[in-house]
Amino acid sequence: MTSDKRIIGAALRAERKAQGLVVSDLAARFREVAPPHVRLPDREHVETTIRGHERGAHSVSERYKLLYCLALGKPEEELFPSTPQAPSAAGTVDQSPTPGQGDDDVKRRAALQLLAAIGTGASVPPGVLEELLSGVDHVLGRTADVEEWEQTVRDYGHQIYRRPFDALIPDLIADIVAVGELLKKGRPPREQAGLLRVSAGLTGVLAETLCNVGEDRAARRTWSTARRAADASGDRELRVWVRGRAAQHVSWAGNSHHAVMTMVDDAAHIANGTPFSGLARGYAAGAYQAASQGDNVTAHKSLDMLKRTFEQLPRSSSEPTVLDFQESQLLWSEAYVRTISGDRRAVTAVENARALYPSTARVPITNLDLMRAIDLVKSGEVREGLDLAVTSLTDRPRPVLATRQLVGQVLSTLPEPARTLPAARDLRALSVGA
């Protein structure tokens, strides 16, 4: 039954998107088409109900079945069949797969499966990411506007700090599929290299997003594709960025020291002495890894290399972006290393980093608060540290990978008697988005 609800939910979502509607549009249509005897709650409640249906969180009542059919212009047997099947490329239930629909339909179904998994909190099924990314993997019309696509990548670099991850993923998926189709057609060499740059950038941002929603396997697979696309493009700066950023995520995910340092060393080898933002990210990852393993000498050595690299980088906009490395991120990295290594300058480092983030940068500020909480616990102010950690996560977005690791460090720093305190239990629950 749960599986049927998810399949129907995915089909409803696909049909809504196929008609160019967002959730608020569909809720408005419900009001327009509702018969006189059907009473609807307020707009927010209706939108919440639609999202619940699309996630497969609950069954669709007879009242809402009527509204969906009227609003979307589809018969009930098509939207709510007795034996639900996976959504087709057209966005509704796949009643009879037609031979020859081919690779396009397969990719669209893969995209719908990924959306359904992310929307319901389920794991991305094996093979879905492989199919979705195959347009890029296999190729490594119309003229492609590479410059416009590259601006799209830059926009996503900013949006990842402003938009909910679940809202960002569908747009990224759509653009990755579109670029993959352009690559498959073959372009002049310069244009093909530009599209490979775009695909690497889009895929890297998707990998970043998947990491932050807890899809570790899917993220690893996506980083691999981003790395190969960057290599195929021949863009040295992008090749370094993919490795440096992936190294940061591998470090936060708790992977082996060897895995992290291999990526850092690869980034440094490709950069060959040229300062790139990706190289700064690689050195930051090396510093995180060494600090978390108690190797303070190597951590501070990596931090020094990070600072030297940063001093040579061109100054960019102060608006946060995952594609650059900014002063706020430098000071964040320093605050982390000093906090984890027990440096007496940790408090000042956290305060210096916090001063550079706008109040809207909720995730990095939350992480800095957790660093301060770790320092308080290490200083013997256990209750104060726990209270700050719990407060920092309350009413915040779903914890990202770095946040979850920092929470783990707060908890592991607690003395044994404090680990059963109510605040410690609350912190564990908040760290998994409970």
Whether the Cβ atoms of residue 428 and residue 411 lie closer than 8 Å to each other: yes
- Does residue 138 register a pLDDT over 80? no
pTM here is 0.69
Whether the Cβ atoms of residue 249 and residue 208 lie closer than 8 Å to each other: yes
CA distance 52 to 41: 15
- Does residue 55 register a pLDDT over 50? yes
The burial class, CB within 10 Å (0-12 / 13-18 / 19+), for 296 is middle
pLDDT digits (tens, 9 = 90+) for 393-434: 987 767 788 898 999 999 999 999 999 999 999 999 888 754
Write the DSSP symbol of residue 91: S
Q: Which of 106-120, 155-169, 196-210, 416-430 has the lowest mean pLDDT?
A: 106-120
Q: Which two tokens stand for residue 15?
A: 């049909």
Q: Which residues contact 345 (CB under 8 A, 6 or more apart)?
A: 338
Q: Which of 94-103, 222-231, 269-278 has the lowest mean pLDDT?
A: 94-103
CA distance 358 to 346: 21
Q: Which residues contact 22 (CB under 8 A, 6 or more apart)?
A: 16
pLDDT at residue 125 in the model: 60
Yes or no: domain 2-86 corresponds to CATH 1.10.260.40: yes
Q: Where does CATH 1.10.260.40 sit in the chain?
A: 2-86
C-alpha dist (Å) from residue 271 to 68, 121, 331:
55, 38, 23
pLDDT at residue 272 in the model: 95
First-to-last alpha carbon distance for the chain, in angstroms, is: 24
Q: Which two tokens stand for residue 73?
A: 């212009």
pLDDT more than 90, % of the chain? 46
pLDDT more than 70, % of the chain? 85
